[in-house]
Amino acid sequence: MSILPIERVRGEHLVARENTATIDPAQEFASPASVLGAAPGPVRELRYTTLFGQPVAELTMANGTVRMHDARTGLPMQRIDAPFALRVARAAYRGPGVPVASVMFARTASTEFRGKLPVWRVEFEDAETTRVFVSPENGRIVGVRTGTWRLYDFFWGLHIMDWKNHENFNTPWMMAFAAGGLALAVAGVVLLYMRWPRRRQRKVQGVHDVAA
């Protein structure tokens, strides 16, 4: 696994996850009070940012969910749909000009994505079968999976001996091999002590003294 650069495993050469757009301070935005007034419940955090070039107010609710409001009007935005998720994935994609194979609304967890569900999954028809996961709450890219990542994840599952979910370190197999390794190490130390040359030399010297 150490042979593969971690940047390539993460798919950074194919997908730019970071949002590099900035807010123009010269624009007029809705006040925090008006944005909070349009929120459906208690808000834990409010921040102004951009989404696909559009200024938005991102609200993190008290229950942990995220809602997007138009930063100019303060009104709630529509939930991220399939066309918008596709636009986000295409804008972030840095690979060859290939068509999109599918756009799917994933509701169940898999070995490829273990984050918050549901999530939009956009798949590209490139050599890596790149899949971009987009949050339906805030339109952010929350995961990128490529052929290199799948190869790395396969060997990672073998390494921690979790062949199903590839994330549990406390499998019975792992604990059994760890206990076996510890037992072998202790046995090796004991054998080394018993066979240490100086100890054997003392025994031989004692025999010679008795014979004399």
According to the model, what pLDDT value does residue 149 have? Answer: 92
- Number of structural domains (the chain) is 1
According to the model, what pLDDT value does residue 194 have? Answer: 82
According to the model, what pLDDT value does residue 142 have? Answer: 94
Mean pLDDT by groups of 10 residues along the chain of 212 residues = 83 83 79 93 93 88 92 91 92 86 92 92 94 93 94 82 68 78 89 73 55 54
- The boundaries of the domain holding residue 144 are 6-148
In-domain check, residue 201: no
The alpha carbon torsion through 110, 113, 117, 121 (nearest 10 deg) reads -100
In-domain check, residue 41: yes
In-domain check, residue 179: no
In-domain check, residue 212: no
pTM (two decimals): 0.76
Residues 6+ apart with CB under 8 A from 60: 43, 44, 45, 46, 66
In-domain check, residue 95: yes
Contact call for residues 136 and 118 (beta carbons, < 8 A) = yes
According to the model, what pLDDT value does residue 39 have? Answer: 92
In-domain check, residue 129: yes
According to the model, what pLDDT value does residue 121 have? Answer: 97
In-domain check, residue 182: no
In-domain check, residue 16: yes
According to the model, what pLDDT value does residue 21 have? Answer: 67
